[in-house]
A = this chain, B = another copy of it.
Amino acid sequence: MATIYDVARRAQVSAATVSRVLNGRETVDPALAERVLAAVGELGYRRNAVARNLRKQQTSLWAVIISDVENPFFTSMVRGIEDVASAAGCSVVLCNSDENPEKESRYIAVALGEQMAGVIISPSSDRVEDLNLLSSSGCPVVMVDRELKGVRGDAVLVDNENGAEEATAHLVEQGYERIACITGPQRASTATERLRGYRNALEAAGRRANDTLIRMANFRADGGHDAMASLLDEQQPPDAVFVTNNLMTVGALECLVERRLDIPGDVALVGFDEVPWADLVRPSITTVAQPTYEEGRAAAELLARRIAEPDRALTRQILRTSLRVRASSTSHP
């Protein structure tokens, strides 16, 4: 592997000059610059990023730590991030914490150790210190989808409470009586906010949320499945269910199909998060859609700005959701 010294020798200049040419400084004689470029081409020289990072004390790598790489919600967000990053000349490395605080910590340590330029994360633990360690070491943090109070970092969120309220109000309007809610783990801000929206909507309709109709699951398909089963086994099962994320919606749907229940005749269904196949499933599924690509974009733009101006005031962007009414919630037209 050729080094900058090999290039310098071949171009008959010093390594400093090679470095200047490669970094596009103006103070180099064009003739020399050409010799350098020629030598680079002949030797197939590629700059050693590790050495460069060490000297410059930073990289052009962004870490994106998401909690489930198999969830289309996150992968769509990643696309938004990537587009901004490549426009900024940075590369994105994706880390899958898998809702596992241990793995998340490991990836945070990697981002720190590798001196990544910044981190975009949807926290799956509540370890505030880990993230503050990052930001206090000069590695900016942007939270996306979920917020962790006390973390010094920007955030891009959606109006979960409002979205959940709209979804629940829609079920109320459609005449459903016993509306259940399957939400996620308590440590996820999305889970508690969406539950709150659900409660608000019921109260606005003059009803009270019934704890026997509320389940906390793990944001995964199996959790949605089991929660649905447990709801159906209640003495008074629900006639409608609001599920607060897409994978749990899939699980709940599977459970309903297994039991040969009619949707929305026996049980109506509304999910949070859009899924690519929402229109293919029979019946098609009503969802609270999030602007996933936009969330990614916004988070990436915040990161880029913070890298440019580390001392900016912290910002917190809230995007809006939109209810997409489909067949799974409209039996009573």
Contacts and interface: CB of A to CB of B under 8 A. Distances in A.
A110 B50 CA distance: 10
A79 B72 contact: no
A53 B59 CA distance: 14
Contacts of A48: 54, 113, 115
Contacts of A1: 137
Interface residues of A, number: 49
Contact of A86 (B103, B253, B257): B103
Contacts of A281: 277, 280-282
Interface stretch (A23-31, A92-100, A156-164, A226-234): A92-100
A114 B50 contact: yes
Contacts of A115: 48-50
Contact of A107 (B76, B91, B277): B91
Contacts of A279: 254, 257
A19 to B, nearest CB: 15
Contact of A46 (B96, B113, B250): B113
Contact of A280 (B59, B79, B91, B254): B254
Contact of A110 (B69, B78, B91, B277): B91
A82 B66 CA distance: 14
A109 interface: yes
A82 B96 contact: yes
Contact of A113 (B47, B95, B280): B47
A135 to B, nearest CB: 13
Nearest to A68: B75
Contact of A277 (B82, B106, B277): B277
A171 interface: no
A51 B292 CA distance: 37
A61 B51 CA distance: 16
A177 interface: no
Contacts of A109: 46
Contacts of A54: 48, 50-51, 54
6 contacts: A61-B110, A69-B79, A70-B72, A75-B75, A82-B98, A250-B276
Given A70-B79, A250-B277, 4 more contacts: A50-B59, A86-B106, A94-B96, A257-B280
